[in-house]
Amino acid sequence: MSYLIIPKGYRSLLTPEETEHGIKLLKDYFQQSLAKALKLRRVTAPLFVLQGQGINDDLNGVERAVTFPIKDLGDKRAEVVHSLAKWKRMSLADYKIRPGHGIYTDMNAIRADENLGNLHSLYVDQWDWERTITAANRNLGFLKRCVKQIYSAMLDTEEFICTCYPQLRPFLSRSIHFIHSEELLRMYPEMSAKEREDAACRKWGSVFIIGIGMPLSDGNPHDLRAPDYDDWSTPNEDGFAGLNGDLLVWNPVLGRAFEVSSMGIRVDAPAMHRQLELCGKTEREELYFHRQLLAGKLPLSMGGGIGQSRLCMLFLQKAHIGEIQASIWPEEQRKACLRAGIKLI
């Protein structure tokens, strides 16, 4: 229950019927805007991959994947994807996607170790995207330009959905503020990382926090990040490490920072080797994905994930992600939401 926020006086601005229709409108509009902005084409993605190949994303490096045996493969085990960070990069190579273009897909996952609450569910759905880049694009300026394009698609989508449902009012800031996680730490040294995110979004509205994964001056990373997809250790033009980050906005319904997307320029071979060494996981270099990357068989890329239910929750101004998607919740949480007028699907 510590992960549940009950907004005082909350009531849904949309009926259940309007909500279901709004989800469809919003998803269709945003993915078209995203694809146009980043020059992406849609591809079909797997729900599960074979275990032991290094293809699945292990997120922060500690979450357990849901696994099952496959009878016709001699009980080899498959695991439900956490995200498609590595699979997408392999797909860029398979499809021979040229620089400046990319792919996106509907990613569906089960994350059994999530702390269930307003923002986190066992079921995860997001637009996973990946774009081929050149060596000249591996810099902070290029990352920022892509973030601005994504944020512009978000602003267009907000305007669209508020036109469809006039009872909804726009709230996003007109621009996004960029700040490195080390700068944020120096601004608010007494706060936890999540408290710093709240403070930043309260101050600027929408924020892209750069450099997620590398330990900061206090010895701790802003947040954990696996060592073998985002590049969080390469020095950038701002004098800090990191070519990745998280996009957060102020959520007026919950009164807190709200993460919409995690994204970044992906590791090249030197960065991956360095980060695996830093994390004490160099044995991963023997896995299939890692061998492909080290052998130069995968293109340089950048990519990320944008939560589908998260974005719908934000723009339809809901208090709980369970108002957008069907999932399983602790009984005590269901009862608390019911008492507060939060109708979980």
Is 20 among the catalytic positions?
no
Q: Which residues of 90-100 are buried (b: 16+ CB within 10 A; e: fewer)?
A: bbbeeeebebe
The residue from 111, 131, 196, 225 that is catalytic is 111
The residue from 83, 126, 233, 327 that is catalytic is 126
The residue from 128, 246, 268, 285 that is catalytic is 246
Is 246 among the catalytic positions?
yes
Do residues 170 and 159 lie in contact, with contact meaning Cβ atoms separated by under 8 Å? yes
First to last CA, the chain: 18
Is 111 among the catalytic positions?
yes
The residue from 12, 31, 57, 158 that is catalytic is 57
26: left (phi over 0), alpha (psi -120 to 50) or beta: alpha
Beta bridge partners of 76: 70
The residue from 18, 63, 223, 259 that is catalytic is 259
Is 325 among the catalytic positions?
no
Is 51 among the catalytic positions?
no
The residue from 31, 262, 275, 325 that is catalytic is 262
Dist. CA 99–CA 131, nearest whole Å: 7
Q: What is the 3-state secondary structure (H, E, C) of the chain?
A: CCCCCCCCCCCCCCCHHHHHHHHHHHHHHHHHHHHHHHCEEECCCCCEEECCCCCCCCCCCCCCCCEEEEHHHCCEEEEECCCCHHHHHHHHHHHCCCCCCEEEEEEEEECCCCCCCCCCCCEEEEEEEEEECCHHHCCHHHHHHHHHHHHHHHHHHHHHHHHHCCCCCCCCCCCCEEEEHHHHHHHCCCCCHHHHHHHHHHHHCEEEEECCCCCCCCCCCCCCCCCCCECCCCECCCCCECCEEEEEEEECCCCEEEEEEEEEEECCHHHHHHHHHHCCCHHHHHCHHHHHHHCCCCCCEEEEEEEHHHHHHHHCCCCCHHHCCCCCCCHHHHHHHHHCCCCCC
Residues forming the active site: 57, 111, 126, 246, 259, 262
